[in-house]
Structure 1
Amino acid sequence: MNLEASIRAADLPAAIDLLRAGADVNRIGPGGLSPLMIASGLGQPQMVELLLTAGAPVHAIEPRMGSTALHKAVQSGNSDVVGLLLDHGSFIDQQSPVLGNTPLMDAVLNKHEDVVRLLLERGARTTITNHWRQTALSLAHDDRLDTIARLIKARNEADAEQIRALALITAVKAGDISEVERLIAAGTPVNERTPITGDFDDDYTPLGLASREGHADIVRVLLDAGADPQRVVGLMRGTPVHEASYFGHADVIRALMANPGRAGAPAPEIDAQGPYNGLTALHDAVWRGHIDAARALIDAGARLDLRTHAGRTPGELALAYGYDGLAKILDEAERE
């Protein structure tokens, strides 16, 4: 008996023995499925936990439709398996490339109310559309799944209410420094975050939004109140310095680097590289052609030698985009 056969037979002792004997937990079978995908699709929580403990990767995709173990788990309807995969880092909103379906959509299509509820509780986005431009809610309506539709609607309403309750976020976006100061004095947390709902403001802090919108005066107020400039913001997982640099707000960059925060407050990570593309704040400023922002970063000591995931330094990026003025500034900085 091989590992796949032991999984299909739900023979946990045999699977344990095979793994101890060196069976490959990552071996893809003739159908293109990994052992973890098979166990997840069959709804076997103990087997899934065993395979995860043995090092099975949760992010692998099968070659025909591009689905993951999480897609298979929601099709099985076993919420325990879904929870295990999420606990081990599965991407809750990953879309299969052929259909564009998220796990939430598959849970709706398979009429698994408990799994839909779990995914919503764990933060699955409801606004994503598949390749037929259907959302999870429209799929529920199309199949007359009234209870599931109500669950999704309730989540949407809860998200909207949570956003409305973020008074500091609202004041920052409006550039209302008086209201920002009033809310801080009233004890509003300065590091609150927006929920992830499929909006441009997803997962931002007040400081991240103030940096993005160019409100340097509000940035100073937030820093002085203890806002953390090292907290990543937005779906790109950048920093407030990235935000200010991308949008060309040199005055915000200078405010962040001056960091007039409370004693012991962390300094911004000026050279942090984004996980998606490896860009630093200086790369962002160069990419967008913002000379003043690039100068502010250079003056603050930004490194000139770091490379993006495509292998380019800020100077090389400037040359690639034909920004001769920026390239000259960067070249002069390197010579100093």
Structure 2
Amino acid sequence: MAQAWNLIHRPKGLPTYTDFALRALDNRDLADGEVRIANRWLSVDPYMRGRMNDTKSYVPPFALGEPMTGGAVGEVIESRADTLPVGTRVQHMAGWRDEAILPADQAQRLPDGDIPMQAYLGALGMPGMTAWFGLLAVAEAKAGDTVFVSAAAGAVGSSVVQIAKAKGMTVIGSAGGADKVDWVRSLGADAVVDYKGDVPLVKALGEAAPDGIDVYFDNVGGDHFDAALAHANQNARFAVCGMIDGYNASEPVALRYLMRIISQRVRIRGFIVSDFLSRISEFHHGMGEIVASGRFQREETVVEGLDAMPDAFLGLFSGKNRGKMLVKL
């Protein structure tokens, strides 16, 4: 019987396993125009934490006692829609479950070819698209810029590092622990700051970027944001797509260098990847060229089984992922 994870409590701070429940889904017949999809890979992403709060945001909160949603890829196993016959590989947003029933227009056919389907949840999906437009459109980064990337070992951050290097930029990444630092350096980063190390972050960034930074790609917020302000060059551009440090925090982080926004004329712009959906073909073309060049490393941290979905999600907040965190069914 098909199952889905439900949110049963609104978390306070970091979610716990008791906030979730795995429950059976209704096993109903398909209506005209619907497909039944066997999910093969599920995505967990930091933005999902915000949807667990009952607050107004750019996406509605998860409803208590109802199946949660998120990115997924799978295969059509039953169809009453001519556009998606049985056997079609698709991407959709009915994740957190092993099987989904959807109207055909809510599932997108994956391109034919040898690319593994889970890549469309990572470098060729939402994280890669976030990296591409955040760096090149929001921050307007260009060849010769010095770019600081927080969470550089994550799905978005590791893509930013590689796109920036492919475009002729100097890249400084931030990662936690020696293994991740070494991996980010292997992606091409010119320098990597270990935020778990003994040197304070603001000092470590100053040593890595003695001439300052022109662009900051923010996935973390908090101390990383403050350090970026401390070393921002005049007219620096900050692209802010996530602040994972604050998602479970009860108190805001004080920013010591906030006044530098004025003196350095720093431009700070938040964005959501859906802002750029009309330009998705631009992403597919540009990212496709980088991937096809053989210079792009696609890394995945894979957790096995639907039962482990909360483990995978909570692992995002303790740095257990290198690259994209995925659940394989």
The TM tier, using the shorter chain, reads: under 0.3
TM-score, normalised to structure 1, is: 0.25
Q: Which has the higher helix share?
A: 1
Q: Which has the larger radius of gyration?
A: 1
Higher strand share: 2
Alignment TM-score, normalising by the size of structure 2: 0.25
- Structure with more relative contact order (C-alpha pairs < 8 Å, separation 6 or more): 2
